[in-house]
């Protein structure tokens, strides 16, 4: 060939989505199994009639709706094609080539991908032995050229969450320069009252941004829409690097309709959270190690037994998300599907 692509892309890790197998129960992608509410589906169908037109590039209606809901200035919001796209926009907006992007590991697998795509340098900080974010180690790893620090809470895939005192202590200790990004993709499933609302924490700080998504609790994973609350200059920069028209009109309409139906959606979240506690308690009773989780999934740190556990679940027509020889993440679904998973987990131990 007479043309060439970027040579560093040969080492770019690929994003591995949860598998979908016909006839199997999918517990691999942290989706809400019940889907959007009927009222939201109606709005989606109505919005589809206008797809011959370009969407509003500024996603104005959704920005205004979010600003009113959160009591924030619209200028501090950026909307994107899911929070993963916003992660990439943050790197592009904040980093020059070689600048540092820090994140715990293991955490959301898109972090190293968007870092490398943005030409930045990944700073991975191992989790604690309890599968939680090691905030002291993260503070110690900050360098003069660290520009972004991702803090995933609840953490994906371990489900562990930061409480108010430890988060505020961390934020107080971060030196001037880096932007701390609280990734709250699973916020709606949190039941612990000591876990703070990231936007409330960020209001009085000029170095904190917050990511949220409509993909999980709101059941809109297939439409791809998320938002970021950030310092005004950061939000403006994120909008500059956004791919034009990346949030389509159906996604915007569905997100607004989901906010209108939020009370009903939050009741679904409470049911899922209760199921999460039940599933974790039963797994612990079987003898599994399961970190405390505030997300809509549980983490089983099975180490070298992970591939065998994954294969066993597939034999039972259950698709879980295996991470090499580290562990398996299992989405909390309906009570019936959760019972099928628990039966598989129990038979794995017997076998």
If asked whether residues 235 and 120 sit together in one domain, one would say: yes
If asked whether residues 244 and 309 sit together in one domain, one would say: no
If asked whether residues 86 and 223 sit together in one domain, one would say: yes
What pLDDT sits at residue 9? 80
The pLDDT of residue 10 is above 90: no
Give the CATH number for residue 313: 3.90.1150.10
Confidence of residue 136 (pLDDT cuts 50, 70, 90): very high
Beta strands in 220-296 (DSSP E): 226-229
If asked whether residues 233 and 267 sit together in one domain, one would say: no
Helix or strand run (H / E) with residue 111 = helix 110-117
Tens of pLDDT along 45-93? 999 999 999 999 999 999 999 999 999 999 999 999 999 999 999 999 9
Torsion of CA 250, 255, 260, 265, to 10 degrees: 120
pTM: 0.95
- How many residues are given for the chain? 351
If asked whether residues 189 and 255 sit together in one domain, one would say: yes
Cis peptide leading into 82, omega within 30 of 0?
Answer: no
| C-alpha gyration radius of the chain | 20
The last residue of a domain, from among 233, 260, 287: 260
The last residue of a domain, from among 226, 260, 294: 260
The number of folded domains in the chain is 2
Would 70 be classed as within a structural domain?
A: yes
If asked whether residues 121 and 160 sit together in one domain, one would say: yes
The last residue of a domain, from among 260, 276, 307: 260
Q: Which of 46, 31, 30, 32 is nearest to 257 (CA)?
A: 46
Q: Which of 62, 107, 71, 58 is nearest to 87 (CA)?
A: 107
If asked whether residues 226 and 289 sit together in one domain, one would say: no
Tens of pLDDT along 249-306? 999 999 999 999 989 999 999 999 999 999 999 999 999 999 999 999 999 999 999 9
If asked whether residues 194 and 97 sit together in one domain, one would say: yes
If asked whether residues 164 and 279 sit together in one domain, one would say: no
Q: Token pair for residue 238?
A: 């994120």
Note down the domain range covering 322.
7-34+263-350
Q: What is the percentage of the chain residues whose pLDDT exceeds 90?
A: 89
Conformational region of residue 152, where left means phi above 0, alpha means psi within -120 to 50, and beta covers everything else? beta
What pLDDT sits at residue 351? 66
Q: Token pair for residue 308?
A: 């065998």
CA gap 160, 327 in Å, rounded: 14
């Amino acid at each position: 060939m007479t043309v060439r692509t970027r040579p560093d892309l040969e080492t770019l890790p690929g994003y591995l989505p949860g598998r979908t197998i016909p006839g199997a129960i999918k517990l691999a992608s942290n989706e809400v199994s019940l889907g959007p509410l009927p009222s939201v589906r109606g709005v989606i169908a109505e919005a589809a009639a206008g797809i011959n037109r370009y969407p509003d590039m500024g996603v104005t209606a959704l920005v205004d709706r979010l600003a009113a809901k959160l009591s924030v200035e619209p200028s501090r919001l950026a909307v994107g094609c899911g929070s993963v796209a916003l992660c990439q926009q943050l790197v592009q907006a904040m980093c020059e080539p070689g600048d540092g992007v820090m994140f715990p590991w293991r955490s959301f697998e898109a972090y190293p991908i968007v870092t490398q795509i943005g030409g930045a340098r990944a700073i991975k900080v191992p989790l604690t032995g309890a599968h939680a974010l090691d905030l002291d180690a993260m503070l110690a790893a900050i360098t003069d050229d660290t520009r972004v620090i991702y803090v995933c809470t609840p953490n994906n895939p371990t489900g562990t969450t930061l409480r108010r005192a430890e988060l505020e202590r961390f934020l107080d200790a971060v030196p001037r320069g880096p932007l701390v990004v609280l990734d709250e993709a699973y916020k709606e499933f949190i039941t612990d009252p000591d876990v703070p609302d990231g936007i409330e924490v960020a209001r009085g700080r000029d170095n904190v941004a917050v990511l949220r998504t409509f993909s999980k609790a709101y059941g809109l994973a297939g439409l791809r829409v998320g938002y970021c609350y950030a310092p005004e200059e950061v939000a403006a920069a994120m909008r500059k690097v956004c791919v034009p028209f990346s949030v389509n009109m159906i996604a915007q309409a569905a997100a607004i309709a989901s906010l209108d139906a939020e009370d009903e959606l939050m009741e679904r979240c409470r049911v899922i959270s209760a199921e999460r506690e039940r599933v974790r308690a039963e797994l612990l009773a079987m003898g599994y190690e399961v970190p405390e989780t505030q997300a809509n999934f549980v983490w089983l740190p099975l180490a070298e037994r992970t591939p065998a556990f994954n294969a066993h679940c597939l034999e039972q027509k259950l698709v879980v998300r295996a991470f090499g020889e580290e562990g398996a993440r299992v989405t909390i679904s309906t009570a019936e599907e959760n019972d099928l998973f628990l039966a598989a987990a129990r038979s794995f131990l017997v076998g």
